[in-house]
Each structure stands twice: as structure tokens, then as C-alpha cells.
Amino acid sequence: MRQLRSLGLLTLILLSSLTSLQAADSDPVLAEFEALLSSSAAPDRARAISLLADSMHPDTLSLLAELLEGQLYTFRGDSHLYRVPRHEEGRAAERLLDGETLTIERVRDFRRVAVNNAQRTQIRRVMALTGLNAESSAIRLQAVRQLMRDADSATIALIQDAYPTEENNRVRELMAVALAIHTLADSDNEVLQRDAIDTLSESLEPRARNSLAQFAQSTENPALQELSQRALTQIDHKVQFYKGLETLYFGISLGSVLVLAAIGLTITFGVMGVINMAHGELIMIGAYTTFVIQQLMPDHIGLSIFVAIPAAFVVSGLVGIAIERGVIRFLYGRPLETLLATFGISLVLQQAVRSIFSPLNRTVETPGWMSGMLEFNPVFAITLNRLYIILFCFLVFFALLLILKRTALGLQVRAVSQNRAMARAMGVRSERVDMLTFGLGSGVAGIAGVALSQITNVGPNLGQSYIIDSFMVVVFGGVGNLWGTLVAGMTLGIATKLVEPWTGAVLAKILVLVFIIFFIQKKPRGLFPQRGRAAED
């Protein structure tokens, strides 16, 4: 029995050795790379990086990126290199040479391959040099930007060789900027310096402006100094223009959030005359619904947002109908009692959420397709999540407008909002319309919560942050008018962001509130006053 065990162990060792030899034969570069990285000597790791740089191996970029991010490990059992994206028990580790996987049973069995600062700099440089020949224009662009940070004669020579054959315009422009920076710093030819200044004056790269500023201070040629100053002024004007566009984008983004938060309140307040202080909590319920959906679909975050939208509408809508049927229908015509009752309901809903989900904030994960930025140039980029929220705001607005203008429910809602007594005389069941209208407004509030969950933490006090802003938008735009809500929300959002750079966020909100107070003194019915019963009241 002992002989059989020894024979089995010997066979396993031979098979393992044979596998390693086959892997080494199939890819000797990776085998040598593994041997050097497995060494404890720092010079061997530097040689491993240089080996990949000289070999032009197809996996050079991915391997160096994994080494830089600390995803390469050695295993105590066989001293091979493994790719370990997540160093946790139960996770998979993939062997570098043959792709075989192991399950991490003990974290301490895997030791991360550490690199020092000098090796990190070497890796970034090698990645940039390798990236110049990559097929992806985005990788080439990033490679040129990386090489600009520590350009020398050898680096500039590589960029000069790659420049004539580069087909992507953005990469060519950045290469031209890199060459112009080098020319401005090292050349004494005035003609070349003038050409370099002209090139840099069209660029918004921070390094281009810094290079011009340094040259303007160091040159003794008055003509070149004046030319550099004009180029700096031209760049500054462009930067200010794009900063203004960025402020406008943030204002529209804030305005879309305000519109989403207020549009449901516009329906209930305009049709029913109910001051619903629990509106913010209905938004909160929509946000928590998104959180629950993501917990139920942890492997499908990108899809969960599409499930959360109708789910939040239904959940918040049902809660709204329950509030209307249980409390508000007994208080019509008594606005003060309605305000107090809905304020009490808001406290109950907050405490219910604290009891179910705890008082701690919950983080809702942003789907991959909503993450990242859309970069137009080095000084102007927009975040995708806010862009999608802006588009979502207009989608919800026009869908709601279509419901109110093209459906039987919308016709009844408009009839009740203009003259409730006449609508009853025409056979409209106003109680049913009130219930459905309150449910519709509450459901839209839940949809707003889905959007807000992508830009802020989800917590019991989420609704309190938007209830005052919602009432400000409704009153400013005109009670019960959807177009007024859209115009008011966008106006207040843009105005707030325009004032913030001079006053700060808190004082900007106060100034906007003061403006609305004075505006209501002149036009108490808002920008677009409602006609019919609402106007008479």
C-alpha cells in the first residue's frame, strides 16, 4: 500500500514537471518571465520587465498592468505565477503558463509579487512605449500622454517615428503637442519655436500651457515672449469657455434632478390641492426598491436598473394609494390638517425604513454602462451617470405628458383639476380619479428615487433633502403645470450652479430661495398659472 502511494506521488510529480516543461517549450518568454519574477531579488524583477519590453510579446500590456495592479501571485505549493484578480478565500487563481485554475483555500498560500517605485516607473514607461504600436487608438492616446510626462530624446524619437503613420486625429494632435513641447524646450531655432508656439496655442493639454508659461518667462526674445503670451491668453479663453459649458451641464443635471423630484408633487398638488409632506419619503421608497432589486440580482447590476424602474413605480404608487385611501381622502378641503397628517406619515415611513434596513446609508451600485466619463478634450468631460439621468428626466416628463394628454385618465385628471363639480356632473368619479392621480404622482416619485440612487447614498433621510426643493420648483413653475415644472426645475438648477462658484453651495441655495420669495410677491401663481378651479382657489 505504501509502495502504491509512493508510486502515485512520483507519477504526480512527473506529470507536473512534464506540464511545466511543455508550457516552457510552448512559451519560453513567459517561462523566463515567471522564473525572474519568482525570484526574491529586485534586479531580477527589473530584468523580467525588460524581458517583456524587448520580446514584443502579445500579452506584454496585460501582464505589466496586472503586475502594476498587484494581481500576480506566487503559490507556495509549486512556485508558479498565478493571476489572482481577488485575493480572497474561495476565489479562483489562474496559472500564468497553462491557464489551469486553483481555488484559493488559504489566503496565506499565495504571495503577491511586489514591485518598488523604480520598477513601477519602469513598468509605466514600457507600457507607454508598447502602447504606441497598439491597435486601439485609445491605448495609443494614453501611451503618448504617459510618455509626455517623462519625455527624453529616445522617447521623442519614438514619437517622431510613429507620427507620420498615425491615422487617428486625436493621437496625431497629441503627438504634435509632445513634439512641440520638446522643440520649445530644446531647440534654439526661432522658426521652429514659432511653429511650436502655434501648435501649443491650439492645445488644451495642461502640459502644453505649462510649457508655454515656462518659455514665456525664460526666453529673452521679445517677439517670442509676446507670441507666447498671446498663445496663453488664447488657451485661457478656451478654458473659460469650456468651464462655462461644464457649469451649464452641471446646472442642467441638477435641474433634471429637481424636475424628477418635483414632477410627481406637481400632479398631486395641482389636481388635488394636497400639500403632501410625505412626497420625499415616496422618493426614498423608490431608492430603497432599487437597492433591494440589486440585492436580488447581484450578478446582473446592469439589468437590475431596468427592473427597478417599474418596480419602484409600483411600490411607491401602492404606498401612495394607501396613504390617499387611508388618510388624505378624509381631509380634502382642510389643507392644514393634510399637511400635518402627511408630515406624520413621513416620520412613520422614515422609522419603518430604519427598522427594516437600519439607519445606515445603503450604497446602490452604478451599472457599468452608466459609469465613466465622456471626454471631449482635456478640460471638458461629462459624467455618464448624470447624462443618463438628464435623458431619463426628459423621457419621464414626456411619458407623463403623453398620459395626461392622450389617455382617458389624463382627460379625467384635467377635468377634475379645472372644475371638480362640473366633472362630477359629467359622470367623472372624482374619488377614483383622486386615488389614481395620487398613485400616479407617488409612482413617479418612486422613479425619481431610482435616478437619485445613482448619484447619492440611499438612507432614511434621503427624501428630506429634496422635499423643500420640490415645493420650490412647483410654486415657481405654477401649481399643476408640467411645463412650468420643467422650466422652473431647469432654471433653478442652472441658476444655482452659476451662483455657486462665487457664494458656495449653501449660500447659493439661500439666494435662490430669497429670489423665489420675491418672485411670488409679484406673481403668486408662478410662471405658468393653472386655469380653472386651481386658479379660482
pLDDT tens column, 365-389? 888 888 888 888 888 989 998 999 9
Q: 213-223 pLDDT, tens per residue?
A: 998 888 888 88
User: What pLDDT was estimated at residue 531?
Assistant: 59
**pLDDT tens figures, 293-312:** 999 988 888 899 999 999 99
In a domain, 144, yes or no: no
Do 470 and 335 sit in the same domain of this protein? yes
Do 155 and 100 fall within a single domain? no
Q: Position 32: which residue type?
A: E
Q: What percent of the chain has pLDDT over 70?
A: 92
pLDDT in tens, 196-239: 999 999 988 888 899 999 988 888 888 888 999 999 999 999 99
Q: Give the tens place of pLDDT for each residue, 474-527.
A: 888 887 788 889 999 999 999 999 988 888 878 888 888 888 888 888 888 888
DSSP, res 458: B
Task: Mark whether 172 and 321 lie in a shared domain.
Answer: no
Which residue's entry shows cell 445606515? 360
Residues 78 and 173 in one domain: no
Residue 233 lies in a domain: no
Segment 448-472 mean pLDDT:
88
Contact (Cβ atoms closer than 8 angstroms) between residue 517 and residue 475: no
Q: Domain containing 167: what range?
A: 149-219
* 124 found inside a domain: no
pLDDT in tens, 95-119: 887 778 888 888 888 888 888 888 7
The cell for 422 is 362640473
Residue 125 lies in a domain: no
The answer to whether position 262 is within a domain reads yes
Q: How many structural domains is the chain composed of? A: 3
Tell whether 292 and 429 lie within a shared domain: yes
Task: Judge whether 537 lies within some domain.
Answer: no
Question: Do 182 and 85 share a structural domain?
Answer: no
**What CA–CA distances, in Å, run from 297 to 138, 290, 293, 451, 522?**
32, 11, 6, 18, 52
Is 441 inside any structural domain?
Answer: yes
Co-location of 213 and 285 in the same domain: no
Q: Examine the domain organization and report whether 254 and 359 are in the same domain.
A: yes
> Are 442 and 264 spatial neighbours (Cβ–Cβ below 8 Å)?
yes
Helix (H) or strand (E) holding 500: helix 482-503
Q: Which of 219, 235, 270 represents a domain boundary (last residue)?
A: 219
**Residue 1 belongs to some domain of the structure:** no
User: What CATH number is associated with residue 357?
Assistant: 1.10.3470
User: The whole model's pTM is what?
Assistant: 0.76
- Please, is 223 exposed, middle or buried when counting C-beta atoms within 10 Å of its C-beta (0-12, 13-18, 19+)? exposed
- Same domain membership, residue 392 and residue 265: yes
Contacts of 480 (CB under 8 A, 6+ apart): 266, 267, 269, 270, 271, 417, 530, 534
Radius of gyration of the chain (CA): 32
| One-letter identity of residue 285 | I
Q: Phi-psi category of 361—alpha, beta or left, where left has phi over 0 and alpha has psi -120 to 50?
A: beta
- Which among 166, 184, 219 is the end of a domain? 219
Residues 283 and 212 in one domain: no
The answer on 77 and 167 residing in a single domain is no
* pLDDT at residue 533, rounded to an integer: 45
Same-domain check for residues 100 and 192: no
Who contacts 5 (Cβ-Cβ below 8 Å, separation ≥6)?
none
pLDDT at 17: 43
Higher pLDDT, 381 or 76: 381
One DSSP character per residue, 106-153 reads -GGGEEE----HHHHHHHHHHHHHHHTT-S-HHHHHHHHHHHHHT--H
Last residue of a domain, one of 117, 141, 173: 117
